[in-house]
Structures are given as structure tokens and as C-alpha cells.
Amino acid sequence: MVNSNNHGRYFGICPSYHHAKACKCTVCPSYPQTGEMMFCARGTNKPSGKELGCLCSECELYKKFRLEGGYFCQNT
């Protein structure tokens, strides 16, 4: 059984190459510098705890999959 605590809220988003190219995580001011991205789909294990601005709502994935909320890189 999959433990939902180990995945992002929108676990069903495919982390394909094309989706990864559209991801804005790595240019976000709140990015926790973990080398990871697509936090909306994958969640994070290393939040920085710093909310310095959020680009989630500007991301193509956010619009395409009608996501809600933000700061996915800070939420585990």
C-alpha cells in the first residue's frame, strides 16, 4: 500500500521529461536547493522553511492540472 505522506498532494501527475521542462521549481525564490523539482507531484523531504515568494501559480503544470494552493516545496 502506498503511504500518501511520502508523496506530494498531486501524486498522479506524471514526472515526464516534458512536465519537468515546464516546472518552475528550480527558479523559485523559495526553492530549498535540494536538486529536486516537481514538488506538486512528488512532495519534499527537505523543506527549507523559508517562504520567500511562490511561483507555483505561474507554472504550466499548475494551470494544466488545475492545482490549488502553493509552496509545494515547503509542504511534506
How far apart (Å, rounded) are the C-alpha atoms in residues 38 and 52?
A: 18
pLDDT at 57: 94
DSSP string computed for 15-68: --HHHHHH--GGGSTT---SS---HHHH--S------S---GGGSHHHHHTT--
The domain segmentation of the chain, as residue ranges, is 9-64
> Taking a C-beta distance cutoff of 8 angstroms, is the pair 24, 59 a contact?
yes
Give the predicted TM-score (pTM) of the model: 0.74
- pLDDT tens for each residue of 17-71: 778 888 999 899 998 888 888 988 888 878 877 899 999 999 998 998 888 899 9
pLDDT at residue 13 above 80? no
pLDDT at 8: 53
